[in-house]
Structure 1
Amino acid sequence: MYDFKPAEPLPAAELYRDLLAAAEALTAGEPDAVANMANVAALLWEFLPDLNWAGFYRVGPAKDGGGEELVLGPFVGRPACIRIPFGKGVCGTGAESRATQLVEDVHAFPGHIACDAASASELVVPVLRDGATIAVIDLDSPSPARFTAEDAAGIEALARLLADRI
């Protein structure tokens, strides 16, 4: 049995070091992207307090056949939007810009897509392979300004680890 949940609250540097080690252990040598995303979504849920959604949107063909868009991947939380166009909402903006989006107040974010009305802040980190977005890691919280630069750096390190595993 795996038990990767931290025993107690940890300083951010230790928390993300342990999260990265757990993700490394669970995904090393596993070629199935869905299995790896599912386990990492569960790790995020276990490790990070004050979340109401943690998971992935992956890049896939657009439903209408024209280009690509984000398609819901493994996650923990309430049911979510299934498809998000590049450049739309926090996730689509992160995917298109290939840059981390740390949003203190999602209601003030132009074009925010409210999949869960309880979300107040969001952190989206693109997963890049060969310079192209292949997925985004999406974290939502019901608390305003929940995410910090330390959270962004920790999730960016996780995205780099996962770039060849999802």
Structure 2
Amino acid sequence: MFEVQNYNGSKEGNYEQVIKQLDSLLEGEDSIIANLANASALLNQFLDQVNWVGFYTMENGELVLGPFQGLPACVKIPNGRGVCGTATAERTTQLVPDVHEFPGHIACDAKSQSEIVVPIIKEDQIFGVLDIDAPIKNRFDEIDQKYLEKFVETLTKHI
């Protein structure tokens, strides 16, 4: 039985620990859905002050809702639209301190105030995105970005 560890170290150290846990949790499992589901559950348990943690996968040129933790969400997002679509179109992480100031933001949960979206690129193709929303502004910073990108790198080995 896998058990999520308690985190009491530095922010960076805590992220390093959760990334190790992710790698261990997914080791030997080849189900993409199961691995995305466990990754979203692990992050949801690890991160505080978040209200949505999940994945969208690229299907036929648009993002389609995948495993997540949180309220029901938008099912399809066109490439290039909203924060998630911008992350895939630009192939870069989108760190958004205030979603209401992001042009074209798609509001799936009215409580969301800030967001970070990390594109998942496998074999030079967009696989999808990791999307995390928070009910407070300025929830995410450059440390979150750096380590969530590392989290996605580790996850990509298992999808």
TM-score band, normalised by shorter chain: over 0.9
User: Which has the higher mean CA deviation after the structures are superposed, 68-77 or 125-134?
Assistant: 125-134
Gap regions ≥5 residues in structure 1: 62-67
Query: For residue 145 of structure 2, what is the aligned residue in structure 1?
Result: 152
- From 62, 65, 68, the equivalent of 1:69 is 62
- From 129, 132, 152, the equivalent of 1:136 is 129
Counterparts of 2:73 and 2:89, CA distance in 1:
20
Matching of residues 76-95 of structure 1 within 5 Å = 76-95=69-88
Gap regions ≥5 residues in structure 2: none
Query: For residue 99 of structure 2, what is the aligned residue in structure 1?
Result: 106
Whichever residue aligns with residue 16 of structure 1, its letter is Y
**Native 8 Å contact 2:7 2:14 kept in 1:** no
Secondary structure class of the residue paired with 1:75? strand
**Native 8 Å contact 1:72 1:81 kept in 2:** yes
**Native 8 Å contact 1:89 1:113 kept in 2:** yes
User: Which has the higher mean CA deviation after the structures are superposed, 97-106 or 155-164?
Assistant: 155-164
Secondary structure class of the residue paired with 2:13? helix
Query: For residue 13 of structure 1, what is the aligned residue in structure 2?
Result: 12
Secondary structure class of the residue paired with 1:143? coil
What count of residue pairs does the alignment treat as equivalent? 159
**Native 8 Å contact 1:128 1:134 kept in 2:** yes
1:49 aligns with 2:48: yes
Whichever residue aligns with residue 89 of structure 1, its letter is G
Whichever residue aligns with residue 83 of structure 2, its letter is V
Deviation (angstroms), 1:7: 4.6
Whichever residue aligns with residue 151 of structure 1, its letter is D
Matching of residues 110-121 of structure 1 within 5 Å = 110-121=103-114
**Native 8 Å contact 1:107 1:120 kept in 2:** yes
**Native 8 Å contact 1:5 1:46 kept in 2:** no
Counterparts of 2:158 and 2:87, CA distance in 1:
20
Deviation (angstroms), 1:95: 1.1
> What is the RMSD of the two structures over their aligned residues, measured on CA atoms?
1.0
Q: TM-score, normalised by structure 2?
A: 0.96
**Native 8 Å contact 1:70 1:85 kept in 2:** yes
Counterparts of 2:58 and 2:120, CA distance in 1:
10
